[in-house]
Structures are given as structure tokens and as C-alpha cells.
A = this chain, B = another copy of it.
Amino acid sequence: MQKQPRFSGVITPVLTPFGEDGGPDAERFVEHCHWLLDEGCTGLAPFGTTSEGNSLGLDERMELLEELVDDGIDPAKLMPGTGTCALADAVMLTKHAVDLGCGGVLMLPPFYYKAPSEEGLYRFFAEAIEGVGDGRLKIYLYHIPPVAQVGFPLALIGRLIKAFPETIVGLKDSSGDWSNTAAILKAYPGFEVFPGSEVFLLDGLRAGAAGCISATCNVSAAAIRNVYDHWQGPDADKLQAGITALRKAIQAFPMIPALKALIAHYRHDPGWAKVRPPFTELPAADADKVVRTLADAHNFRLDFAKAA
């Protein structure tokens, strides 16, 4: 029996802008989120890897999330990152998100200690679910072994779904390995799987994926949404080829600084380019190169006029 998906479509791990003082800039953040929804995003996943989420303090994350809800963004569309190395902190962030009405949370496994056992990871999630203690909780597992190093093996995913069928409802697969995504889709029908890159969007949808959650949605959500809306139409492969080519052009640069440089350029707002350590901003010449490369080869530009 296919469950009604809670999230589907095009979900953005929202970039986090910073102010002059280094703190998160709530005003730019809320503005960007509204613009992303206007561009066609079906959901927002703040505090993911692209969001520099793990460079944000616990209080900073909670305050930013409250800003979004206070500013009228439907919490059902929000899937904030709440996984941390420490159970107590993960429970606190997750409970806070559930209390705000968030439609789901995207949880990293505890990622400091390497090569944990399946049993150890299972216990982390079992204890987190018990700690939150709220039937509204919907967890999306965040599988990103290239960064977190610790991931979710296929058997663990199955064990968690079986133990918590109403809570463990989906997964973002940022392994970059389509065969892994395909294996999860095949093993667990009805589980809401999102490839971590739009490169796999069409293949994913054809195999039962729910959509994609991708860094580059921060600057190309409309084109990605177009593939999502027309994936069964005659132009689907051609549309997919377009977003794949753009994605590959962008990821040739350091992803987070490059995305921020693009927004800074088209918003005429140099402050948008600011990143937190351990990242560094692109040097001006490299930022120019990102803008020019994408404009020349992909006719890429961002239009913020309608958001004004």
C-alpha cells in the first residue's frame, strides 16, 4: 500500500546568509525562503549541508526556524536538519521543530565516531524518537557519506522502517551513487526517497522517488520544478538534460561559496556572499568566473524583480 507522501517535489536545502557581525541574517534568510517558494519549491530543508547547518549553533538554528514560521511560511513545508552527534541536542532541535509544526525533519546520523555498528545507529534513532515522544514526528534519514562519513546501510533503513513505520518515512540520498538510490527505492516501496542531486531527478521519479532535495535548487528551482511537473511528458529527457548540464557546471566550483556568489551578484548584495569558517568566500575573480561561465554557457541569470 502506497502511503500518501508528506513531502514531494523540489526541496531546497536553504543557504544561510550571514550579517556583518557573523551571525545569521534572519531578514535575508526569510526573503530567500519566500523567493524559493515563489520559484516553485514545494518544500524547504533549512540547516542541511548546503545551509552550513552544522556551522550553526543550536540556538541560531531554532531562532531562524521561528523566524520562518513567524513570517508566514507554512511549517508543513519545512524539513529542517536536526541531526547532531549528541542525542540530547538532536532531541532538543527535533522537539522544537515538531512543536513548530514542521512537516518533517532531516536527520543526520551521529557523525563524530566513525564506523559505528548498525545496532549503535539503530539505538540512536530509537532513543531520539522516544526522547521526542511526539506522534507528529516524521523523520527523513540524511544519507551523505561523502561528508558525514557515517551513513545508513540498506539493512539499517529497513530495520528502522519496520520498527517505526509511522515515523521513519523517507530518506535523502546524497551518496551520489544512483545504484544505492535505486536499491532503496526497490527495497522499500512507499518510502519517500529524495536523491540529493537533480541529476538523478528523472531516473528517480521513474523508479518511484518523491522528488529531489538539492543544493542547486537555491538558484535553479524553477527549471528543476519544470522537470518534476513534466516528467511523464514527451520533453522530459530534454528538460532533464538541461538541469543536469547546469548542475554539472555549478558543481565544478566550490558549491556553497559559488551559490552564495551567484545570489550576491544578482541581488546586487555583496554581503550575501559571506560564509562561515571553515568555508571561505570565493575570491572576486573566481566569483566573476562563476557568473560569467553560467551566463555564457547556460544563459543563466537570477531574477529577483518579482520578489521586490
Contacts and interface: CB of A to CB of B under 8 A. Distances in A.
Contact of A55 (B87, B117, B277): B87
Contact of A123 (B85, B149, B277): B277
Contacts of A113: 49, 54-55, 147, 278-279
A87 B120 contact: no
Interface in A1-54: 22, 49, 54
Contacts of A49: 112-113
A253 interface: no
Interface of A: 22, 49, 54-60, 85-89, 92, 109-114, 116-117, 119-121, 123-124, 127, 146-150, 276-280
A124 to B, nearest CB: 4
Contact of A88 (B59, B109, B121): B59
A277 B147 contact: no
Contacts of A121: 277-278
**Which of A86, A124, A127 has the most CB atoms of chain B within a 10 A radius of its CB?**
A86
Given A123-B280, A127-B277, A280-B119, A56 B109 contact: no
